[in-house]
Structure 1
């Protein structure tokens, strides 16, 4: 995060005016330019300043998307896809104005193939809506970022979540996409086969591209069978190192844990207060196992032995659905629980990811940094894949407080990179982490710029995200 990198872009006022007229005529009431609509489509879940689009189109079909893209391409006006607005690095901001494409009305399930364990959906459907639609099939979609994000947004940011340790991230669960490209035409990146060696892997290219290469209009996803039995539990540890050692041993022993989440003592205190829990205020693991009644019991027993060996408290686990729901609702409410610790302050949610062998070291050094700076910053992590989040609470109106937070996040990202980690495990780059991406990948960014220029020569797709803008790029009018 670096506020100095987040600047208003060069506006193509003449082109924007032309596109506003075209879209008003084409979409009528489905095209809005009112201040409230524009503000709703530029809010960010960070303290990066909102940068409003000039208009919002509520699309209902891929033909609508093509109409918008063709008009914007002709007049070189930015296009910013919008799902639910839950992204954390300013991905929905419009630094040089332009048109926000709202996908909330493209939220249909197009086809389900239970025999092939896949589903094709429109990008505006949320993960919770999708799983409700799938319930009667005995299948579910396992990727669950904390927010009820749209599937299109999850693809765009290469999202993951608490189940990633067992089921992978979005890149592992997207089979195919349809995408509207810079010429306003729709392409399909792959077929439904579970594997292919046919040509470039365009699907993976668009997964994680944050709307900068094209606009996603449908997604084909892998599905999983709903487990026969699910068990979950919680275990506190005397130290962060002990908790991380338990995670490493669990992974190394091949125990197929579905979720293994790390919460530090500050985060546990926040969850206790917000969710009405009474867990010891110590480093704690939340776990979940999927399988049959016998395998869930076995896996829980195996973890109990590991926890005891690492000095942990008794592993309290249950297969009761109501108790498990309470446990994981508390975990998914961790953001709001943390904000409730200091409701008058602003919050910055940031994430890094390191090899799990370095997780304890990275989190411990981060905690020491927090203590030195006198910050209030709970930590929660997807311990099974080395990804953790820090929610820093601060006064966004105080320049000294903002500067302290910026310096902290710079050190956090440098620490992760020094451990051969990444500046973001799942939040994406957006506007907030462009400088850190340069540090992480160096010369590879030149190749990324070439790909961007080749697929989006007029720089209309979500400009000012991922790659730091070069002079004259916002937009090329």
Structure 2
């Protein structure tokens, strides 16, 4: 963005207060990376809008000067989604963090994109409601919609796409649209919510989200079940789902990961493949579900099953799961965490996890496997010396091996982390001619290729 940097900064200061436009080196560095291992790249300018109109004016200006724009939440993404490799403007939505309306009788909430998951749930608790999508990180809801976030509760409540009723979205030329409405269902027109959720900032900037929320369950119970092998653990999950038990969370943690959990969280859990489970419902129903679950897991050589009935025990269990990435980082000082994910039909899951574990061991890498196994999604956490080209190359080999294994069995290269730049090279293999349709949608909505360019698809528009 050689030419008009000063002109664009001056023009932006007519749209935003002076404090809302930054070319400060430190601020730019903060917006040059996400939580991934991908190389950082500094934007030229970072802006902090507070209203939809300001976002619209920013996009009109960017469109006029053909300047790339990258939307930014908290930077907790894992595949380089928010790294501005084409430079330009980063729009930080942290000042757009208001909960606009709670419609408790409709089980809906309207929020700005900078609202975080924990911020929303703190407010919803007053109404006896909660928002279900729980990716682990306290991400912004705008970012979660952009990547179609998932997490531990998706087996019962669904992923982010299932919760979005409407998105107020600013398009590349500054036009403001709504992708849905407040109705529970609609047969009217194309399903724009489905197109924009998961678009990773390549089709528009979300400025308001209308989301589905749920009543807080009357009773919640968590459990930890240990098994001799991953195959046994996954077999137990399939049996639980086939039995129709309304499980709310079911997470797999493999043996190396359980060791990291114990070291970091100061727990004394069995260091064998383990399922973390959670049940939501009424007291009588939960009693039946728990007894039935005990019977089912015993058929798969369950070595022990321990239940947590109080808040403290449940919180400790799920904190251990959510802090697992930090447990690996803490356990391998000087190394960088690389996380990758795939998703497969549940019938293929145990084979995929076994294949991933064998590949990790064959390559001599340090890492573990965890997953939202109730919906066929698992993650590999690797600790790398990123200054060692051989080790980085081995990590790339592993990533490719587990992705190709998943694609060959009807799965996807990413169940919830998204495409960004890390999974872009697998889009052709996964989607085939459908990728041409995606490219046409991108071209139609962003002909100058200014919105998060060259993420998900390599657009054939203007090269900046």
Which of the five TM-score ranges fits, normalised by the shorter chain?
over 0.9
Residue of structure 2 equivalent to 1:14: 3
Aligned partner (choices 176, 183, 193) of residue 186 of structure 1: 176
Does the 8 A contact of 2:443 with 2:459 survive in 1? no
Does the 8 A contact of 1:96 with 1:474 survive in 2? no
Q: How far apart in 1 are the matches of 2:135 and 2:195?
A: 21
Aligned residues: CA RMSD: 1.1
Does the 8 A contact of 1:161 with 1:382 survive in 2? yes
Residue of structure 2 equivalent to 1:6: none
Matched, 1:76 2:66: yes
Q: How far apart in 1 are the matches of 2:178 and 2:24?
A: 34
Residue of structure 1 equivalent to 2:76: 86
Does the 8 A contact of 1:78 with 1:462 survive in 2? yes
Q: Tell me the SS of whatever aligns to 1:111.
A: strand
Per-residue displacement from partner, 1:91-113 (whole Å, max 9, x unpaired)? 11111111111111111111111
Residue of structure 2 equivalent to 1:384: 374
TM-score (norm 2): 0.98
Give the drift of 1:38.
0.6
Does the 8 A contact of 1:243 with 1:284 survive in 2? yes
Residue of structure 1 equivalent to 2:121: 131
Does the 8 A contact of 1:15 with 1:77 survive in 2? no
Q: Tell me the SS of whatever aligns to 1:162.
A: coil
- Runs of at least 5 residues in structure 1 that lack an aligned partner in the other structure: 1-11
Matched, 1:156 2:146: yes
Aligned partner (choices 430, 435, 453) of residue 463 of structure 1: 453
Give the drift of 1:18.
3.0
Give the drift of 1:359.
0.7
* Closer/same/farther in 2, CA of residues 208 and 15 from structure 1, 3 Å limit: farther
Give the drift of 1:469.
4.9
Q: How far apart in 2 are the matches of 1:47 and 1:87?
A: 11
Residue of structure 2 equivalent to 1:51: 41
TM-score (norm 1): 0.95
Q: Tell me the SS of whatever aligns to 1:13.
A: coil
Q: How far apart in 2 are the matches of 1:54 and 1:298?
A: 59
Give 4+ residue runs of structure 1 displaced > 4 Å after superposition: none
Q: How far apart in 2 are the matches of 1:212 and 1:17?
A: 26
Q: How far apart in 2 are the matches of 1:359 and 1:160?
A: 18
Give the drift of 1:177.
0.6
Q: How far apart in 2 are the matches of 1:420 and 1:44?
A: 29
Matched, 1:23 2:23: no
Q: How far apart in 2 are the matches of 1:444 and 1:416?
A: 18
Does the 8 A contact of 2:442 with 2:459 survive in 1? no
Per-residue displacement from partner, 1:240-289 (whole Å, max 9, x unpaired)? 11000000000111100000000000110000110111111110000000
Q: How far apart in 1 are the matches of 2:284 and 2:344?
A: 33
Residue of structure 1 equivalent to 2:109: 119
Q: How far apart in 1 are the matches of 2:179 and 2:389?
A: 46
Aligned partner (choices 238, 246, 249) of residue 228 of structure 2: 238
Does the 8 A contact of 1:127 with 1:150 survive in 2? yes
Q: How far apart in 2 are the matches of 1:443 and 1:259?
A: 35
Equivalent residues in 2 for 1:372-411, closer than 5 Å: 372-411=362-401
- Runs of at least 5 residues in structure 2 that lack an aligned partner in the other structure: none
Give the drift of 1:16.
4.2
